[in-house]
Amino acid sequence: MSATAMTDRGPAADSTSTIADTDRHEIERLFAAQKDTALALRQSTAGERIDKLKRLRALMFARREDIMAACHADFAKPSAEVEVTEILPVVEEAHHAMRKLKSWMKAERKRPTLLMLGTSAKVIQEPRGRCLIISPWNYPINLSFGPLVSAIAAGNTVILKPSEMTPHCARLMSEMVAELFDETEVAVVQGAVETSQSLLALPFDHMFFTGSPAVGKIVMAAAAKHLSSVTLELGGKSPVIVDASADLKNAARTLVWGKFANNGQTCIAPDYVYVHKDIRQAFIDEALKALDHLYGTADTRRDNDDYCRIVNQRHYERIRGLLEDARERGARLATGDVPANDDRYVPPTLLTDVGDDARVMEEEIFGPVLPILTYDDLDSAIARINARPKPLALYIYAKDKQVIDTVVTRTSAGGTCINTAMLHFLHGQLPFGGVNNSGIGNSHGHAGFKAFSHERSVLQDRFSLAFLFRPPYNAFTRWFIRFSVRWLS
C-alpha cells in the first residue's frame, strides 16, 4: 500500500473539493469526438469487444495494489474488502461477458404469428451509441467499471464521471481508462455538480446513473429533454423480516456483515429489521456475538483494520444527527454510541425501541446504524413495509416456506435474498436493479448487456398476404379482413 495514500490509521483528510470541475467546452468536445466512433462500433465484432474486456480485466489485476491504496486513502477501506467488493465483481462481470458475448450478440429468430405467415423476423442487438455513466462514491471502482463492462460488451462509447467524494479512486480510474482506451471511445471526466449539469445537458443515447432517488429524478428529468433512455440504480430503505422459525445465528451473522461492511455505506444494506417478538432478545444477543466475532469487542473496534470509515465529514455529521434524533425520541442503544467528532469513525450501532417518527426510520441511513423493530403478526410487518416506497432489496429469514412465500408474493422489491443478505448482487445470471423509487432498469450479465443495447426488430416479407389488408377495399378484400378478425376472435 502506497505511503502517500495514508496519513495514519484513518483515511486521508476529507477532501471532496480536490477534484476540479471539467470545463463545459471540454465535455462538449469529448461528446462530439465520440460520435463517429459510436457509429463505427455498430459493426464491431464479438472478438473485438472481448479483446477490450480482456485488457480491462488484466488491468484490474495489474493495478490491484493501486486500487487498494486509493480505497484506503478515500475511506480507510480494508484491503480484503476492496478485493471482495471492488475488484472481484468487476473481474467476474468481465469474465462472464467474455464467455457469453457471442450468444448475446446473435440475432434471435422469431416464429411468425398467424397473420404474419409468409414473413421472416428476427431481433438484433444494436449498440445504443454514446453513453453516459455517472457512478457513486460508496463502491467507486465496482460501480464505475461494472457498468463500463456492459457498455463495452454492447459496443458503445462511454463518458464516465466518477464521484468527486472519492478523489483518489477517481484519479486512478482516469489513469486506467486512459491507459486502455482512446478518448473517442471511453473518456473520464472529473468534477461535482457543475460537471454533472454539463453532462446531463447533452443528448446521450443512454444514461446510466447510480445514486440516490432524489438525484435519480434529476437525471431522469434531464434525459427526458432528449428522450434519452436511462438505467437508474437508486436505493431506499431495504427491510428485513426475521421470522420465529429462522436460524438466528445465521441471520445475525449475515445481517451484521451485510449491514456493517463498508461502514453501512451500501445501497442494498439492510436498513431496518422486523424481528418476531418471541425471538427479539435472542436475535439481539446473537447479533452482539456476531459483532464481536466479525469486528472484535466494542472497545477494540475503532482500531480494527477490517472496519471502514464514513466517506466525508458531511455524511459523518448526518449520521450523528440521525442517532441524536433517535435517542431524543426514546430509542435505546443495544451497542454503539453517538460518535465523538473525530476521524469519521462511527461504531457498529444497534438501535431498539425506535419510533416511526424518528428520522432514522424516514431516511435511508447509509451508515452503520441498524434499527431493530418487532412484529406480532406477519400481516402487520408486511403492511408497514408496503406503506413505504418499494425498496432496492428485501431480506427474509425463515425456515417456514409458507412465511417465505407470503412475504415474496405480498411485497415488491428490486431483489430479494432468503436466509442471506446482499449476495444477489454477485450473481452474474441475475438481473440487478430497483423498482420505481429504488430504480429503473437492470444491470449485470445479460441484463447489463441489454441495458446498453437496443432490441431492433427486423422483418422481411417473403410471400405474405399483407397486400390484402391494403386499399382498394373491394368485396374480396373486405371479406378477407372480416374473415381474419372472426378467425382470431
d(CA 191, CA 86): 22
Other C-beta atoms lying within 10 Å of the C-beta of residue 388: 15
Residue 233 annotated to the active site = yes
With CA atoms as reference, report the closest residue to 438 among 419, 415, 411, 468. Answer: 415
CA end-to-end span of the chain: 71
Residue 83 annotated to the active site = no
CB 312 within 8 Å of CB 301: no
**What is the side-by-side strand order in the sheet with 272-276?**
332-335, 349-352, 369-375, 272-276, 239-242, 393-397, 415-418
Q: Which of 86, 164, 233, 286 is catalytic?
A: 233
Collapsing DSSP states into helix, strand and coil, what is residue 239?
strand
d(CA 36, CA 444): 27
Cβ-count burial 270-292 (b if 16+ within 10 Å, e if not)? bbbbbbbeebbeebbebbbebbe
Other C-beta atoms lying within 10 Å of the C-beta of residue 127: 24
Other C-beta atoms lying within 10 Å of the C-beta of residue 180: 16
Q: Which of 71, 131, 169, 267 is catalytic?
A: 267
Tally of residues, the chain: 489
CB 456 within 8 Å of CB 124: yes
Contact partners, residue 31, CB within 8 Å, separation at least 6? 130, 159, 202, 204
Collapsing DSSP states into helix, strand and coil, what is residue 116?
helix
- Beta bridge partners of residue 372, listed in sequence order: 273, 352
CB 248 within 8 Å of CB 283: yes
**What is the side-by-side strand order in the sheet with 439-440?**
186-188, 157-161, 130-134, 206-210, 229-233, 439-440
CB 146 within 8 Å of CB 443: yes
CB 95 within 8 Å of CB 57: yes
With CA atoms as reference, report the closest residue to 44 among 181, 158, 184, 156. Answer: 156
Take residue 378 and report the three cell numbers written for it: 406477519
d(CA 152, CA 261): 30
With CA atoms as reference, report the closest residue to 423 among 226, 221, 257. Answer: 257
| Omega within 30 of 0 (cis) for the link into 162 | no
Q: Which residues are catalytic?
A: 233, 267
